[in-house]
Amino acid sequence: MIRDQETLNILLASIRRFVREQLVPHEQQVAETDEIPPALVAQMRELGLFGLSIPEQYGGLGLTMEEEVLAAFEIARTSPAFRSLFGTNNGIGSQGILIDGTEEQKNAWLPRMASGEIVGSFALTEPGYGSDAGSLTTSAVRDGDHYIINGTKRYITNAPEAGVFTVMARTDATRKGPGGVSAFIVERGTPGISLGKKDRKMGQQGAHTCDVIFENCRVPASCIIGGKEGQGFKTAMKVLDKGRLHISAICVGVAERMLEDALRYAMERQQFGQPIAEFQLIQAMLADSKAEIYAARSMVLDAARRRDNGEDIPTEASCCKLFASEMCGRVADRSVQIHGGAGYVSDYAAERFYRDVRLFRIYEGTSQIQQLVIARNMIKAAGA
């Protein structure tokens, strides 16, 4: 649902210009240094990128799902590492507080996230539990007006930069599964929190992850999101539809960039006295990529509009995440193939994107988890 087309057009044009003029020229530098220059982060704040999905009453832009998807298409036409820095503030880092938090919690954290003053991080995955998140073992034991948290979280996006963590911990040790899990807002610097070394990853240099370790970390009981025990896993599930649509839109935007690069190379590269774009087998790869990108874009926009209309869309969101992330991987592979030997060296962006986009099929729910969600929802609907 687009509320004001003119205002949206101005925003999209500003993002498009920022990506083209500021981010793309710094892609290689970020890949080599594993750091995003502070000046670029400051510009991200000025553009309002940290608060795209946070309501205006808390200092954000308050984009609808459709508007956010359109913005994501533009943001993604560069290295995914740039988006990752402000992505958690718009997604899992803020949405749990927004959806289930108390008004006091919202006022305390959302304005600071929207401005980019602090970076939010979502601490769910553990060394022993990833897809089986409902079986997590990090504990939060009540002690008077506080809880004492113990456990380790793994692969936590933006943890090295985070000013606040949304931490999933088990408050009821006698209750197995997701029902005994609660969500806590834990501020960086709280005694008992320590960080592991930054993970060395296959791709997305500049986007940082690491372990977050809680050792007798004492937090006030008022830090439970919504002020109620046992609601943490439900809170996490509520933000997934939105997060999966956002990542799906990012997959579309990155795929469009990769196809654009591949097409340009094919039109410039000469073999046998003509551009390789004239060869039918190259054309087949270009055409397949174009068709799949169009399909994914259409899916994501349709699901976003349904969500804005108030529909419950867990199946559609999983369909988008599954198709768009797998599509993005296929486009990356074709892009390298079209580039030939050049696609295997780091002088060309195709090599970097090939590594960067592999992650999309893993986080926010693996492709296999999406298949299970889709199938189980189908079975449930058929039996209703």
Active site residue ranges: 364
At 147, give phi and psi (nearest 5°): -125, 145
Nearest partner of 244 among 373, 375, 124, 380, judged by Cα: 373
Task: List % helix, strand, coil for the chain (3-state, nearest 5).
Answer: 60, 15, 25
Query: Are 225 and 185 a contacting pair, CB within 8 Å?
Result: yes
Alpha helices for 222-313 (secondary structure H) = 232-268, 280-308
User: If you ran DSSP here, which 8-state letter would residue 199 be given?
Assistant: P
Q: Rg (Cα) of the chain, in Å, rounded?
A: 21
Q: 249: how many CB neighbours lie within 10 A of its CB?
A: 29
DSSP-derived pairing of the beta strands 193-195 and 209-220? antiparallel
- CB burial string 217-243: b at 16+ within 10 A, e below: bebeeebbbbeebbbbbbbbeebbbbb
**Rounded Cα gap, residues 79 and 329, in angstroms:** 15
| DSSP line for 95-109 | HHHHHH--HHHHHHH
Kind plus residue range of the DSSP H or E element containing 39: helix 38-47
- CB burial string 288-307: b at 16+ within 10 A, e below: ebeebbeebbebbbebbbbb
